[in-house]
Amino acid sequence: MKQTHTNLDLSYSSIFWLFMLGSILGYLLEGFWCILTKGHWEHHAATLWGPFCIIYGIAAIVLYITAYYIQKQRVWVQLGLLMGVGVLIEYTASLLQEVFLGSTSWDYSHHYFNIGGRVSLRMAILWGFLGFLFLRFLFAPLTDLLQHMKGRGWHIVCGCLSLWMGINLLFTGAAVLRWQRRLDGIPATSPIESYLDRTYYDEVMSQLFPNMLQFLAD
In a domain, 208, yes or no: yes
Residue 139 makes CB contacts below 8 A (sequence gap 6+) with: 5, 64, 67, 68, 71
pLDDT > 90 fraction of the chain, expressed in percent and rounded: 76
In a domain, 6, yes or no: no
Residue 144 makes CB contacts below 8 A (sequence gap 6+) with: none
Please give the average per-residue pLDDT across 67-85, as a whole number.
Answer: 93
Q: How high is the mean pLDDT of the chain? A: 90
Phi/psi of residue 90, nearest 5 degrees: -70, -40
State the pTM of this model: 0.87
Which range has the worst mean pLDDT, 100-104, 137-141, 188-192, 211-215?
Answer: 211-215
In a domain, 93, yes or no: yes
Q: How many domains does the chain have?
A: 1
In a domain, 166, yes or no: yes
Domain span at residue 139 reads 12-215
